[in-house]
Structure 1
């Protein structure tokens, strides 16, 4: 075996290892809490202005039936038809998807 062929194989293996480890590391990351809150605010703003919003920066364990996941919890308030409305939500920390939304 030529030295150049051997070195090409080693180099290819190193690059593949780095690429795979980076992909696995990205899968374990959570969406930022700010990003989740911005998405929720954008959805509410489509129906009108909002008065206030909040989100917990720490994730919390959450169960929905048999599904267990980590979520961000937050809330949003607005005035609609002259009356104050407040909502709370739970969003999946991995995807940012809203799992629960309830009017309080």
Structure 2
């Protein structure tokens, strides 16, 4: 087998795979990281963020008899001299926050 042909085929396969991934990313919803950044931006308006987490795999969720694919996560911040913890549910296809709940210690 000719090495040039093998390398050319591998490079073409890599380029096609990369292009396909980019196209899927453009048409898909926001990444979990992007959703977490959006939620953090909304919550940090009133205090400094000290920790956050998100489940990377979307889950089924129902609210008001509507079905969603969602990301769930949480945020810890300090505001007014005390620690506050929040949990959130965000639509996986749009990144919209569907629910933001403050947890009591």
Normalising to structure 1: TM-score of the pair?
0.71
Partner of residue 95, structure 1 = 94
Residues 5-84 of structure 1: pairs in structure 2 closer than 5 A: 26=27, 29-84=28-83
Is the partner of 1:51 in helix, strand or coil?
strand
Question: Where in structure 1 do 4 or more consecutive aligned residues deviate above 3 Å?
Answer: none
Q: Which has the larger radius of gyration?
A: 1
Q: Report the RMSD for the aligned CA atoms in angstroms.
A: 1.8
Gaps of 5+ in 2: 1-22
Whole-Å separation in 2 of the counterparts to 1:31 and 1:92: 9
The question of whether the paired residues in 1 share the 8 Å contact of 2:69 and 2:92 is answered with yes
Equivalenced residues, count? 80
Is the partner of 2:57 in helix, strand or coil?
coil
- 1:33-83 Cα offsets, whole Å, 9 max, x none, are 000000111112222211100001000000002100100000001111121
Whole-Å separation in 1 of the counterparts to 2:43 and 2:62: 25
Gaps of 5+ in 1: 1-21
Normalising to structure 2: TM-score of the pair?
0.70
